[in-house]
Structure 1
Amino acid sequence: MNSEALHKDMKLQVYLPAGYTETVDYPVLYLLHGRGGNEKTWNKDMNVSDKATQLIKLQKIKPLIIVMPQYDNSYGTNYADQTYSKDGRQYGRYEDYLIKDLIGYVDSHYSTIADRESRYIGGLSMGGFAALFLAFTHPDLFSKSGGHSPAMFMDSTEKLGWLFKDEEMRKRTDPLYLVDQLELKNLNIYLDYGNKDMIHVINSTDQLYAKLKAKGIDVQFQTSSGGHDRNYWKANTDQYLMFYAGF
């Protein structure tokens, strides 16, 4: 698909449930890859399409559409007006691409239930940061969000210049900052990490969970054996799908 926000073509993989028909409207789950990943990651590393098909057959989740977009190494933010690469990361209007271009494309090309109650977003590592940020700032578009080993940081903004241009941008994009500013009452959130994950992921996720609980937000938290890798995420993919689309 062509992205108006980024002025370039972007790839995506779309899972359609068995028996998909345009006479039925389906909920949509957007799954975001981690750094160094692409639109193939969730299928190649986690077998998400096969797992969804199996869970639908077992009537553990509703039939749904799963959209897995390329969004480069961008963290999903509008870091810059122009699209460019630097030090292995990509910058541009990636939030606008995901929120405006991608959702608009999916809703116009597939038989979707185009409302927040039936639209979910989750991601792993970098994608966990992006999914939480996008859901927190666009609660009119999403009802559920998952941060799976989310790559969040508690370092000073000066040390994170590659992610936040300045303190103002951090306040607008960092889930750890946004949770203090926004209501988030209508969101259902899932957080998890492996017990051998990196310390910054563990500490920042624990802090976000505590803040969400203190505000009375509907949040689930899970931790189990594993590291910051495909083996951990693959072992938990069924749980993720049941959170988003379970009965």
Structure 2
Amino acid sequence: MTKTSSRWRMVVAVMAAVVGLAVPAGPALAAGPAVAADGAAPPVLTDGFGLTQVDTTVGGATNFYITVTTPEVAGKHHIKIILPSGYYDDPGRRYPVTYFLHGSPDDPIQQNYPALTTSNQMITVVPDGGARGWYANWLNQKTAAGAQNWETFHLKQVIPFIDANLRTIATKKARAIAGISMGGFGALHYAQVRPDLFSQTASLSGDIDLSVRSMDLRMAVVASLVGYSPSVDSDAAFGSPYPVFNADWRFNEVDPAQHVDRLAGVGVSIYVGNGGGSPADPEFWVEGAAKHVKDSLDARGLPYYYVGYGDGSAWGSQCNGGHNSGCWEQDLRDLIPRLETAFAS
């Protein structure tokens, strides 16, 4: 075995354990009935756009989640919705929407960051992205995991479903997409494939470079596909990760770092720490990815907002610069007011 192959076996093992794993921000919400939107209980939402609601709506009037099924993605899926506290006060008022994408192997109901509930100016929607969905339509739809068309689910079903059921401002100007870890990749990827939908995108410790420069993150994708149950083929999502005879072209096509030109006209925000300089912390690896994207944006003269908070000492007492919820809470406390300002401008 060569030294190079030994290194990548080590990387796969490390990434399988840590990269992309989002630390839950708190317990799930308490159960509550799905009744008419009277300001005391969640609003009743109407099925459509391929989504069918199942089970009981859970939560309160302004912070709740629904469970849906869709032919596009096997299984049941939570969609968490956070409404402004004054949503029911003015029935004529409409709001911009931020879509917040979780990391792996998290779930929307675990996204209980206090910062997400601070805005009275926008609606926040947290759709399920799966334990290792990678915010993509998988190449192989016939694995043990079943249908895995996450991109279609989010962009062609969840967004129109939300616009049809809630008082949104259904325009690019009033729509943002942000995410942590795996969701950071999803946020930039979705803004690149549908720049007509989003005016702002933000990566919080995102896996935003899947080029050969960041083979460690490619191996994280592979590790999640093989390692999570049910195990699927390593090439199921994006095909081969190996740069041999252009076999990795699908990875290159979805790689945010190689397509920053597609973000022209979209506000870009990037937040990242340094993991204390330790390869055992996923933040060490995603910092390199963030810098690659920053360099690509610089090379094309595109504007962006970049916060490299290092060990977190200047970012708040709950942040140690690592790949964890303490740092992401601080990221969100900086990002949300900036989104509100952008929406209002």
- Report the TM-score range of the alignment, normalised by the length of the smaller protein: 0.7 to 0.9
Q: Are 1:212 and 2:270 counterparts?
A: no
Q: Are 1:155 and 2:236 counterparts?
A: no
State, as a whole percentage, how many aligned pairs show the same letter. Answer: 24
In structure 2, C-alpha distance between the alignment counterparts of 1:80 and 1:7, rounded to whole Å: 15
Q: Are 1:193 and 2:272 counterparts?
A: yes
Instruction: Give the equivalent residue in structure 2 for 1:235.
Output: 330
In structure 1, C-alpha distance between the alignment counterparts of 2:175 and 2:143, rounded to whole Å: 30
Of 113-122 and 73-82, more deviation after overlay is shown by 73-82
Instruction: Give the equivalent residue in structure 1 for 2:191.
Output: 135
Give 1:85 shift: 5.4
In structure 1, C-alpha distance between the alignment counterparts of 2:322 and 2:144, rounded to whole Å: 29
Q: Are 1:24 and 2:83 counterparts?
A: no
Moved over 6 A (4+): none
For structure 2, the 5+ residue unaligned runs are 1-67, 223-233, 241-247, 276-281, 313-320
Return the match for 2:114 from 38, 47, 68: 47
Output the amino acid matched with 1:171. Answer: N
Give 1:134 shift: 0.5
Q: Give per-residue Cα distances to partners, 1:159-182, cap 9 Å, x unaligned.
A: 555452142322331102222xx4
Return the match for 1:68 from 113, 126, 133: 126
1:218 partner SS: coil
For structure 1, the 5+ residue unaligned runs are 57-62
In structure 1, C-alpha distance between the alignment counterparts of 2:158 and 2:144, rounded to whole Å: 21
In structure 2, C-alpha distance between the alignment counterparts of 1:208 and 1:27, rounded to whole Å: 27
Give 1:81 shift: 5.8
CA contact (8 A) 1:149 1:193 kept: yes
The change in CA–CA distance for 1:100 and 1:8 in structure 2 (over 3 A counts) is farther
Structure 1 residues 73-92: aligned runs within 5 Å: 73-80=132-139, 82=141, 84=143, 92=148
Give 1:91 shift: 6.7
Give 1:8 shift: 4.2
Output the amino acid matched with 1:111. Answer: R
Q: Are 1:10 and 2:91 counterparts?
A: no
CA contact (8 A) 1:187 1:218 kept: no
Output the amino acid matched with 1:186. Answer: G
In structure 1, C-alpha distance between the alignment counterparts of 2:110 and 2:115, rounded to whole Å: 9
Give 1:79 shift: 1.1
Q: Are 1:144 and 2:216 counterparts?
A: no
Give 1:245 shift: 1.7
In structure 2, C-alpha distance between the alignment counterparts of 1:33 and 1:41, rounded to whole Å: 9
In structure 2, C-alpha distance between the alignment counterparts of 1:97 and 1:129, rounded to whole Å: 16
In structure 2, C-alpha distance between the alignment counterparts of 1:8 and 1:130, rounded to whole Å: 20
Q: Give per-residue Cα distances to partners, 1:177-235, cap 9 Å, x unaligned.
A: 222xx442201000011132533211111010111122122211002211111111112
Return the match for 1:184 from 246, 250, 263: 263
In structure 1, C-alpha distance between the alignment counterparts of 2:204 and 2:303, rounded to whole Å: 16
Instruction: Give the equivalent residue in structure 2 for 1:172.
Output: 253
In structure 1, C-alpha distance between the alignment counterparts of 2:288 and 2:75, rounded to whole Å: 37
Output the amino acid matched with 1:164. Answer: F
Give 1:242 shift: 1.8
Output the amino acid matched with 1:227. Answer: G
TM-score normalized by structure 2?
0.62
The change in CA–CA distance for 1:108 and 1:205 in structure 2 (over 3 A counts) is same
Q: Give per-residue Cα distances to partners, 1:77-120, cap 9 Å, x unaligned.
A: 1114637556xxx8711110110111011011111111111000
Instruction: Give the equivalent residue in structure 1 for 2:106.
Output: 37
In structure 2, C-alpha distance between the alignment counterparts of 1:156 and 1:71, rounded to whole Å: 21
CA contact (8 A) 2:206 2:290 kept: yes
In structure 1, C-alpha distance between the alignment counterparts of 2:205 and 2:103, rounded to whole Å: 10
Output the amino acid matched with 2:215. Answer: D
Output the amino acid matched with 1:34. Answer: G
The change in CA–CA distance for 1:84 and 1:121 in structure 2 (over 3 A counts) is farther
2:118 partner SS: helix
How many equivalent residue pairs? Answer: 231
Output the amino acid matched with 1:238. Answer: R
